[in-house]
Amino acid sequence: MSIRRTYARLWAEHLDEALPLLRQLTGAEPGLRLAFHGVELAAIGDFLVIAGPEHERAKYAHATATVVVDDLDQLQRTLAAAGATITTPETAGPTGRFLYARHRDGAEVEYVEWVPELVERLG
What CATH number does the domain containing 45 carry? 3.10.180.10
How many domains does one find in the chain?
1
Largest CA distance in the chain: 42
Q: What is the pLDDT of residues 1-31, one digit of tens each?
A: 899 999 999 999 999 999 999 999 999 999 9
Q: Give the C-alpha separation, 27 to 119, whole Å.
A: 21
Of 37, 117, 89, nearest to 50 by C-alpha is: 37
Helix, strand, coil distribution of the chain in percent, nearest 5? 30, 45, 25
At 1 the pLDDT is 80
Q: How many helices (H) and strands (E) does the chain have?
A: 4, 8
**pTM, rounded to two decimals:** 0.92
At 123 the pLDDT is 79
User: What domain range includes position 30?
Assistant: 3-122
